[in-house]
Amino acid sequence: MPLYVDRASGARLWDVDGNSYLDYVLGQGPALLGHCPPAVVAAVTEQVARGIVYSAQHAAEARVAERLCAMVPAAERVRFNTVGSEAAHAAWRLARGFTGRPKILKFEGHYHGWLDPVLYSVHPSLDDAGPQDHPRAVPGTAGQPPAADLVICPWNDLDALTRLMDEHAGQIAAVVTEPVLCNTGAIEPDPGYLQAVRELCDRHGSLLIFDEIITGFRLAPGGAQEYLGVSPDLSVFGKAMAGGMQVSALAGRAAVMDAISSGKVAHAGTFNSQPVGIAAAEATLRILDEQREEVYGTLYARGRQLMTGLRAAAAKAGVPMLVDGPGPVFQTYFTDAPAVRDYRDFARTDRAMMARLHTALLDRGVNMVPRGLWFLSTAHTEADVAATVEVFEDALRSLPLG
User: What contacts 222, CB < 8 A, 6 or more positions away?
Assistant: 71, 72, 73
Beta-carbon neighbour count of residue 287 at 10 Å?
18
Beta-carbon neighbour count of residue 331 at 10 Å?
25
Asked whether the beta carbons of 326 and 228 are under 8 A apart, the reply is: no
Q: Is 239 a catalytic residue?
A: yes
Per the residue annotation, which of 23, 211, 342, 384 is the catalytic one?
211
Per the residue annotation, which of 21, 111, 120, 227 is the catalytic one?
111
The DSSP line for 164-199 is: HHHHTTTTEEEEEE-SSB-SSS-BPPPTTHHHHHHH
Beta-carbon neighbour count of residue 40 at 10 Å?
25
| Residues in the chain, total | 402
Q: Greatest CA separation found in the chain?
A: 61
Q: Is 4 a catalytic residue?
A: no
Asked whether the beta carbons of 217 and 241 are under 8 A apart, the reply is: yes
Per the residue annotation, which of 24, 103, 193, 239 is the catalytic one?
239
Q: In DSSP terms, which residues pair with 10 in a beta bridge?
A: 35
Q: Is 111 a catalytic residue?
A: yes
User: What contacts 191, CB < 8 A, 6 or more positions away?
Assistant: none
User: What contacts 131, CB < 8 A, 6 or more positions away?
Assistant: none
User: What contacts 82, CB < 8 A, 6 or more positions away?
Assistant: 246, 247, 248, 269, 271, 272, 274, 277
Catalytic residues: 111, 211, 239
